[in-house]
């Protein structure tokens, strides 16, 4: 007497084989086509000419936080106390598209007396910041620190009925300084 019918064994074998084949296909596709975005998180010292009055004589620091392609950022006065810079909440949000980024939000009152809508658009130049993982053929990975990343772009501030724009460059702040 047969404990397991042949049809049941064939059906279960087909279902298990199909699941394994589907898993193999999805894994192969992911390894070949899905790539993590570049790392842009860090503190960037902003250098710009012709700043609006409320931003003049201030060392601006753009703190970028990253989760995949989504960015959060804070624009702070670098001369503030270190604890207030570390505890600053992101006031801008945006996205990273390859090496281009766009952020929108409100200029914090710690920088300017009144809240102003602001838009930051720019691109990444030079090498990538932070930790870059370079896979080797053996499957191991090496991690290297790279602090030559720079941003360049344009900041637009809407102040009532007038809008002003200025170009900027930003160099990543080395990690041994305050962040």
Least confident segment among 12-26, 60-74, 102-116: 102-116
For position 13, what pLDDT does the model report?
Answer: 95
- pLDDT, residue 94, reads 92
Q: Is the pLDDT of residue 41 over 60?
A: yes
Burial bucket for residue 146 (CB in 10 Å: 0-12, 13-18, 19+):
middle
pLDDT of 29 reads: 94
Domain ranges of the chain: 1-34, 42-172
pLDDT at 142 over 50: no
pTM beyond 0.85: the answer is no
Q: Give the tokens for residue 143.
A: 């991690």
For residue range 112-138, what is the model confidence (pLDDT) as tens digits? 776 678 888 888 876 544 444 333 333
Question: Does 2.60.120.10 match the CATH number of domain 42-172?
Answer: no
């Amino acid at each position: 007497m047969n404990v397991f019918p042949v049809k049941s064994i064939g059906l279960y074998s087909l279902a298990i084989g199909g699941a394994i084949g589907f898993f193999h296909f999805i894994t192969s596709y992911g390894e070949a086509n899905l790539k993590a975005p570049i790392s842009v998180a860090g503190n960037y010292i902003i250098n710009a000419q012709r700043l609006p009055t409320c931003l003049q004589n201030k060392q601006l620091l753009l703190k970028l936080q990253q989760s995949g392609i989504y960015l959060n950022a804070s624009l702070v006065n670098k001369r503030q106390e270190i604890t207030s810079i570390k505890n600053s909440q992101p006031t801008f949000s945006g996205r990273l598209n390859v090496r281009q980024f766009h952020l929108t939000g409100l200029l914090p009152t710690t920088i300017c007396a009144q809240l102003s809508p602001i838009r930051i658009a720019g691109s990444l130049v030079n090498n990538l910041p932070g930790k870059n993982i370079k896979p080797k053929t053996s499957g191991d990975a090496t991690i290297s620190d790279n602090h030559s990343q720079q941003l360049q772009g344009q900041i637009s501030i809407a102040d009532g009925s007038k809008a002003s724009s200025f170009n900027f460059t930003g160099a990543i702040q080395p990690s041994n300084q305050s962040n």
